[in-house]
Amino acid sequence: MNKFKMLGLVLMLCVVATLVVACGGEGDETNAPAVKLTASTVVSQPDLTAHTHAVSIPFTDISAAPADAVYQYRSDTAASDGHSHVIALTQQQMIDIDNGMRVVMTSSAPDLGPDHSHDWSLQGGDLLYEKYCYNCHSNDKRGHNPMNVSFNAAQTGAVKNPASAPLSTAPAAIPDPNYLPSGTVSLDGVALYAANCQGCHNPLATTTKANRTFSQIKNAITANAGGMSSLAALTDAQLQAIADALVP
């Protein structure tokens, strides 16, 4: 009987040891960060100029049943000239990320400056860890067995080893280089001109409207000159930005 009790004690200690090293362990294993995360920050691979961009993906978008057909995110801006890029994920790619898979994509062209793009490699296991584990354990439990979360086998394996998860084969989304997050008002005159004016007045480098002032642009929109009333939604600040861009 004593041998059986001893064996039971050993088994119990093994179970406890497993719990201690797991992602969701209790008590002393919790190490909540000072700042809670509500989104994952993912960084592009450097291009030939060696600069990178970061994008924030909200936890609410990472879902097994995403509501939107396409998710788009605009990156931060480059310190050199203020340009940024857009990346896009399809509904299936978001499902694959939620399942721990890796997703590779290419960004849009920049909103201004020389034409180039960046490749991005998202690791679903990292995003799952940040959504479900980081706010209790900071980075202390990366690579450990997740607990207290209803993960399937693929998600569990991806959280433990994100880089070894399967690569998604879902068709890529096409990012819109003019995409702006909801509520964002662009004051980039070069980008605003490209999006709203160059179709009728040539690209900025050969524009037929060089040196047009804010008042001239505003009056043309008010008078619907050449159908310009379609630009009535542009704010005065945006029109001024376009006027500034029209000065050689």
Instruction: Name residue 70's beta-bridge partners.
Output: 90
Q: Could you state, in order of their start, the residue ranges of all structural domains in the chain?
A: 27-164, 189-245
Instruction: Give dist(CA 133, CA 139) in Å, integer.
Output: 9
- Chain segment 175-219, per-residue pLDDT in tens: 998 898 876 667 788 888 888 898 889 999 999 999 999 999 999
Report field, pTM of the whole predicted structure over 0.85: no
Instruction: Give dist(CA 73, CA 55) in Å, integer.
Output: 7
| pLDDT in the model for residue 120 | 95
Instruction: Name residue 106's beta-bridge partners.
Output: 119
Cα 6–Cα 9–Cα 12 angle in degrees, nearest 5: 155
